[in-house]
Chain A
Amino acid sequence: DQQVKQNSPSLSVQEGRISILNCDYTNSMFDYFLWYKKYPAEGPTFLISISSIKDKNEDGRFTVFLNKSAKHLSLHIVPSQPGDSAVYFCAASAHHCTGTASKLTFGTGTRLQVTL
């Protein structure tokens, strides 16, 4: 049962344009969402995150939007650059009643290709 889904396995965007990567989740207990960027044979690199008490978080060229009612989040990259070409994973976690963060549950990833 895939609790975090990225329905687009790949996305191609021209340099300078906006890249929008989407993610849907089913578990209403998730209260924290993260985006990771991954190059082949390397570990995922943390990009940006958002708590469920917010609907938007921005960091430079990266903005994450959260729509809790739709259980949907998206990552916007603007302007897109060739160096952004990688696989992007959406991840979600919940906090235990003790306050500790639970494991990250990953989506299946979206391969972004930024073309010249």
Chain B
Amino acid sequence: AAGVIQSPRHLIKEKRETATLKCYPIPRHDTVYWYQQGPGQDPQFLISFYEKMQSDKGSIPDRFSAQQFSDYHSELNMSSLELGDSALYFCASSLFRVSEAFFGQGTRLTVV
């Protein structure tokens, strides 16, 4: 069965650079969530989208923005990267009204 696809799997950026993470949800899933997991921490919710509209906002820095496109894929744009942004970034997708969210393999971002 198709799963959530995230790209790239690994990304190395320098401080103050920008990065774009992509997420392709499971087919027919209309809701996308973004989470950030730092070393030894639980996943922290960043932002979510339903039907291309932002549905929930968590601890997403102002330097980050995200959107969901007409084909339901989502992109997380990160600017002015800081060392503290180094983390695993997970995308998850689900169906409207269904709480079970399925996660991608994540993107490991390293800021040097």
Interface residues of A (CB under 8 A from B): 32, 34, 36, 41-46, 49, 89, 93, 95, 99-109
Contact = CB atoms under 8 A, between A and B. Distances in A.
A109 B48 CA distance: 22
A43 B56 contact: no
Interface residues of B, number: 31
B4 A43 contact: yes
Shortest 3 CB-CB distances between A and B: which pairs?
Answer: A43-B103, A32-B99, A101-B99
B4 to A, nearest CB: 7
B104 A100 contact: no
B72 interface: no
Given A46-B103, A100-B31, 14 more contacts: A36-B103, A42-B105, A43-B6, A44-B90, A45-B103, A49-B99, A100-B50, A100-B96, A103-B56, A104-B33, A106-B44, A106-B45, A108-B42, A109-B42
